[in-house]
Structure 1
Amino acid sequence: MTTARHLATIDELRARPSGGPGGAPGFHLAELATSEDFWDDDGSRRALAEDQYEAERDGLAALLTARWGPPTELDLWPVLERSLAGESLPEPWSTLCAHTPELRLWRDDGRWIGLGISQWDKELPLRLLAVVTAVDPPQAQVDPPQA
């Protein structure tokens, strides 16, 4: 999929209403790209795929930064630890922290737009994800944009 298509998908997510079921804050999540799995891999294909997905994320992030300024970085590992310790976290953060180690986040028009690379386990596919949500991220874990 092309960068132009990724941007169009993000814009489609942003155009959707932000409310969830029963009027609760909602979110929209899209897989922008999905790799093959890595069951029979010695690590070399996975390393190449990781580099490719990081490059795709970084290229897309540069375009989103031109729109909305520098992103904030959200480290989701501490969020996962909080979740595993029994803390109830709102969606999409509760689910994302289980398979996406970090997100780049922009704030626009009252919503967060995020990009991340997801992988449920080392043998499973990588996924370039976009999320649009009105739900604020766990605040203690958001690092300010770097100038």
Structure 2
Amino acid sequence: MDRAQHLVVIDELVSREFPEHPERSGDRESGPGYHLVELATSEEFWEDDGTRRLAAEEQYEAERDGLTVLLDARWGPPQVFSLWSVLDRGMAGEEIPEPWGGLSNHTPDLHLWRARDRWIGLGVSQWDRELPFRLLAVVTTVDPP
């Protein structure tokens, strides 16, 4: 994984305008008030005894933590924001704004900074045990719920 390239992508998202309507292109999703990008995606784990999956999880968390150190130099220490309660509230019928509602389905927590009028977050996502890990970056003006 190329941290320098990840920083370029994050900088681009921070400065980019938000679209009026949701749109998706490749590894990027945007909507009113947010951008979400997959910085890296692992292999799938269908034929795994758990060892490859564990190694990938550790690798993706280490990459997130390495990027966190670099962003910490810009914006100070992040808060670690758990999305479990957001998921529970959404499952109970509360309407959760995007990008938070979607993220809570597959990302347990985010390292989160506030810079100017935007929130910047990094997280490790996985939809199910057999599916790939994804290193995500999110930039949004929507306050965390």
Common topology (TM > 0.5) = yes
Normalised by the length of structure 1, the TM-score is: 0.89
1:76 to 74, 79, 83: 83
> Which of 88, 97, 104 does residue 90 from structure 1 map onto?
97
Deviations 1:44-88 (A, max 9, x none): 000000110011000000000010001011100111000000000
Instruction: Give every structure 1 segment of 4 or more consecutive aligned residues whose post-TM-superposition deviation is greater than 2 Å.
Output: 18-22
Instruction: Report the AA paired with residue 98 of structure 2.
Output: E
Q: Percent identity?
A: 65
Structure with greater contact order relative to length (CA < 8 Å, sep ≥ 6): 1
Kept in 2, the 8 Å contact 1:75–1:101? The answer is yes
Matched, 1:4 2:4: yes
Q: Distance in 1 between matches of 2:100 and 2:35?
A: 12
- Match of 2:124, SS state, is strand
Shift of 1:19: 5.4
Matched, 1:17 2:20: no
Alignment of 1:28-47 (within 5 A): 28-47=35-54
Instruction: Point out where structure 1 has 5 or more consecutive residues left out of the alignment.
Output: 139-147
- CA distance in 1 between counterparts of 2:60 and 2:45 reads 15
2:113 corresponding residue in structure 1: 106
Q: 1:25 touches 1:135 (CA, 8 Å); kept in 2?
A: no
TM-score for both structures, normalised by structure 2: 0.91
Cα root mean square deviation, aligned: 1.4
Note the alpha carbon deviations across 1:97-129, whole angstroms, 9 max, x for none.
Answer: 000000010000110000000000000000000
Q: How many residues align?
A: 137
- Counterpart check, 1:49 vs 2:56: yes
